[in-house]
Amino acid sequence: MRPITPQDLWKLRRVGQPEPLPGGEAAVVPITQYDAAENRGRTRLHLVTAAGESRPLTREDADSTAPAVDPTGRRLAFIRKSGEDDPGRLCVMRLDGGEAQCLTEFPLGAVAPRWLPDGSALLVWSPVYRDHPGLDATRAERDARKQSKVKARVTEDRIYRYWDRWLTGGEVHHLFRVDATTGEAADLTPGWTCPIDFEEAGTGYDVSPDGRQVVFHALAVDPPYDDLRFGVYTLDLDGGAPALVDPDGPPSQRRPRYAPDGAALLYGVQYDWPGFYADRIRLVRLDLESGERTGLTEDWDRSPTGWEFTPDGAQIVFAAEDDARCSLFAIPAGGGVPRVLAPGGWVHGPRPVADGRVWCRVESLTRPAEVAIVAAGRLEAVGHHNDDLLAALDMGVTEEVRFPGADGAEIQMWVTYPPGFDAGRRWPLVHNIHGGPHGVNGDQWHWRWNAQVFAAAGYVVAAVNFHGSSSWSNEFARGIQGAWGDKPTADVLAATDHLLGRGFIDPGRMAIAGGSYGGYLVAWLIGQTDRFRAAICHAGVTNLLGQYATDITHGRRAAFGGEPWHDMEPIRRWSPTESLADVVTPTLVIHGEQDYRVVVTQGLELYGILKAKGVEARLVYYPDEGHWILKPQNSLHWYGEFLGWLERYLGRPMPKPE
């Protein structure tokens, strides 16, 4: 066996969300495999049985995603892309063999197919231009834009970019009914003008059991998006306009699901969104006849995700973070105390089936995601898509540690040790600081910031869940609002002291690394202490005022402690660039040009200050990446820069792999 390398990450298959067949004996699973030399990946749909057998269903020369199995379990709908210029077509194939039939040629593609209950047609979302809403008009406008020499982007909207893409093109998703045999398409929302979501559309909708209605979540405001609200809408499929089910309700209403008998809707709400985007998610049940709303999880201080009814309608199954893990839970459909179905690790994406089993995915800090089934209180990984490669790799041991942090609060962290770790030696330490800030270092596999790869190079890797982290209480997450650098700094330094006290960390060889908010905390820490020998700041927030160039500016007052036109003091107080007078720590600064969440000037400003002060610094700038480094060859380059910087200042305790 040998330690894992960055190259291994791109050889491992990436297992997607299973979609079970009606009987539950098998599921259709997207499996993505990358070719690093070609700098691309391909996603194929596989049929995975409960016994663990897996066979590909779709072609290897195209991307096939978003599987939807018909009510009989005999046909599969999915979205196929044959190349980078293919926007995506809705295709249908028989599960017992044969070539797929592509039903649509929508000008801007299609996403998220769902079958009508009688199997006669599918629903699918497709973007059209708001000012050219018909398919033919959108096609003509698309072609005209391609030919135009003017590439200017013009807007009066408050939200005009999102993560790594512009929103100024006027695209809005419409819902289409597509005949499953002929491909004839009918626009069900011809006058619709609101974005379904800024994420990929389609994850938040459902079809009623009788096939007469659809429910979806979407923005409840039109441009310019000065306010930011999401509502749940119903739409009669035989005509009419979408109608909000609770127009005066909470500002975030998402992911509606019909009860199997069609009598009620289930959806999630947040009351303090977007002022506090990590606000606890509550499940609400709406009785469609009486209009009565019942809060199902008001007394539970965790946030359900991915909720689904069991086929008999008696239970609701969902995933939820808890104590830096993600577990599956169930509650009675009328509400109650959640009970654990499958404890994490990281268990997510539940899909309950009629025989009481739940298909899902399971992963951990030591294994990537795999298809799993929960049955009779037992979780079993039934997929084996990476077993051969993983069997050759020597993973480091991961330990859970708790220690007192800011204000004496108990803080949790994961520590990943190098393969062959010997506590009698002195080892270099690397802090792997998570982003968010309301995220979590969970017991889960990470493709872009992989603790096993860092540890394999010979570093003890600490992943601290500081104040502000999710998977604990709302109060714990709120504990950093208006003071981003305060308690998390104390927590990271307390974790450092705790590990030093155990005797196996070399105090002269310690580093801090993080991305996004994690990059913020790196930039803040190098202005507060010189105890770290090296720092790595990826896509880091360095100037809070500059974050008004970000894609979502709603909620900044609560996060930063004020608005600049009212009071600049808290913004200056907690901006890293205001606190770099004494910085000496050699720092690697990494940023992507297409990062619209933490704009590239944030990284450039930090790098410019460090160079002006004569501090050792290195800039790695990716013109074709955004907030995340996603292309295989760029990722390998990123890992090389990351590990190279650590080796330069901390040394490399482990020999480089052949």
Listed by start position, the domains of the chain span 397-650
pLDDT band at 110 (very low <50, low <70, confident <90, very high): very high
3-state DSSP assignment of residue 166 = strand
Distance CA 482, CA 511 (A): 26
- pLDDT at position 562, please? 87
pLDDT band at 657 (very low <50, low <70, confident <90, very high): low
Distance CA 509, CA 531 (A): 9
* 431: nearest Cα among 475, 504, 370, 493: 493
Q: Please say if the pLDDT value at position 109 is more than 80.
A: yes
Sign of the C-alpha dihedral, residues 199, 200, 201, 203?
A: negative
CA 608-614-615 angle, 5° bins:
80
- pLDDT at position 475, please? 93
Distance CA 396, CA 463 (A): 14
Question: Which stretches does DSSP call E strand in 141-212?
Answer: 161-162, 165-166, 171-179, 185-187, 205-207
The label of the residue with tokens 């169930």 reads: 330
Cα 494 to chain center, whole Å? 29
76 vs 273 pLDDT, higher one: 76
* 124: nearest Cα among 168, 72, 184: 184
| Residue 304 near residue 280 (C-beta atoms within 8 A) | no
442-482 residue pLDDT tens:
999 999 999 999 999 999 999 999 999 999 999 999 999 99
What pairing do the DSSP bridges indicate for beta strands 505-515 and 427-433?
parallel
| Residue 467 near residue 488 (C-beta atoms within 8 A) | yes
What amino acid is encoded at 658 in this protein? E
Structure tokens at 333: 């459909």
Distance CA 255, CA 363 (A): 24
If you average pLDDT over residues 271-294, what whole number do you get? Answer: 94
DSSP states of 77-109: EEEEE-STT---EEEEEETTS---EE----TT-
Structure tokens at 331: 């509650």
Name the phi and psi angles at 232, rounded to 5: -100, 130
206-253 residue pLDDT tens:
999 999 999 999 999 988 999 999 999 999 999 889 999 999 999 999
The label of the residue with tokens 């654990």 reads: 340
What amino acid is encoded at 243 in this protein? A
634-650 residue pLDDT tens:
999 999 999 999 999 99
Question: Which stretches does DSSP call E strand in 369-420?
Answer: 370-375, 378-381, 398-404, 410-416
CA 323-319-354 angle, 5° bins:
145
* 192: nearest Cα among 272, 264, 255, 134: 134
| Residue 547 near residue 437 (C-beta atoms within 8 A) | no
The label of the residue with tokens 């052949």 reads: 658
What one-character DSSP code corresponds to residue 2? B
Cα 342 to chain center, whole Å? 21
- pLDDT at position 200, please? 62
What one-character DSSP code corresponds to residue 395? P
The label of the residue with tokens 């050219």 reads: 132
- pLDDT at position 202, please? 66
The label of the residue with tokens 């790098």 reads: 607
- pLDDT at position 197, please? 83
CB-neighbour burial class of residue 116 (10 A; exposed 0-12, middle 13-18, buried 19+): buried
pLDDT band at 487 (very low <50, low <70, confident <90, very high): very high
CA dihedral 480, 483, 487, 488 (to 10 degrees): 80
Asked if the 397-650 domain carries CATH number 3.40.50.1820, the reply is: yes
pLDDT band at 508 (very low <50, low <70, confident <90, very high): very high
351's CB contacts (< 8 A; 6+ apart) are: 17, 18, 19, 20, 27, 308, 358, 359, 360
CA 363-365-366 angle, 5° bins:
85
If you average pLDDT over residues 280-296, what whole number do you get? Answer: 96
If you average pLDDT over residues 569-584, what whole number do you get? Answer: 96
3-state DSSP assignment of residue 306 = strand
Q: Which of 84-98, 502-516, 591-605, 644-658 has the lowest mean pLDDT?
A: 644-658
Distance CA 212, CA 201 (A): 21
CA dihedral 55, 58, 62, 64 (to 10 degrees): -100
pLDDT band at 658 (very low <50, low <70, confident <90, very high): low
305's CB contacts (< 8 A; 6+ apart) are: 281, 318, 319, 320, 348
DSSP states of 604-650: HHHHHHHHHTT--EEEEEETT--SS--SHHHHHHHHHHHHHHHHHHH
- pLDDT at position 222, please? 85
Which contacts (CB < 8 Å, 24+ apart) does range 266-272 have?
266/296, 266/307, 266/309, 266/316, 267/217, 267/232, 268/304, 268/307
3-state DSSP assignment of residue 454 = helix
Q: How many residues does the chain have?
A: 658
Question: Which stretches does DSSP call E strand in 501-555?
Answer: 505-515, 534-538
If you average pLDDT over residues 167-173, what whole number do you get? Answer: 94
| Residue 88 near residue 82 (C-beta atoms within 8 A) | no
Distance CA 451, CA 459 (A): 9
* Percent of the chain with pLDDT strictly greater than 90: 92
The label of the residue with tokens 């990470």 reads: 446
- pLDDT at position 52, please? 93
Sign of the C-alpha dihedral, residues 113, 239, 224, 552?
A: negative
Q: Please say if the pLDDT value at position 153 is more than 90.
A: yes
Q: What is the mean pLDDT of the chain?
A: 95
pLDDT band at 653 (very low <50, low <70, confident <90, very high): confident
Distance CA 240, CA 19 (A): 31
3-state DSSP assignment of residue 602 = helix
| Residue 6 near residue 635 (C-beta atoms within 8 A) | yes
If you average pLDDT over residues 507-525, what whole number do you get? Answer: 98
